Structure 1
Amino acid sequence: MPDLSRRGFLAVTAASLSVRALPQIATKPSGRRILTLVYDKSIGAMRAIDRLVP
């Protein structure tokens, strides 16, 4: 198994979860997507929050 850092592990986990969730999101076009940009102090950068509003 490759030697992963904490950041690498989180990236791989997020990628695998998005692959599982993507077909479900693509099949549910009902509702409206709202994209909000917020400043996250913990990482010191802007972060995008995507919400699905029915």
Structure 2
Amino acid sequence: MATLSRRGFIAPTLAAGAVRAVPMIASKPAARRILTLVYDRKLGMMRAIDRLVP
């Protein structure tokens, strides 16, 4: 197995992530993401709600 340094691992990982993310960003219409934090009594903790607003 080839020995990888930290820098040698991070660079290809970021490049692969960019290749997957760029087409999705280009094809989606302009929309804002709104993140709201609410307290859920049933769960007994904070919960994040993510909404897309055109």
Could you tell me the TM-score, scaled by structure 1's length? 0.48
Could you tell me the TM-score, scaled by structure 2's length? 0.48
Whose radius of gyration is greater, 1 or 2? 2
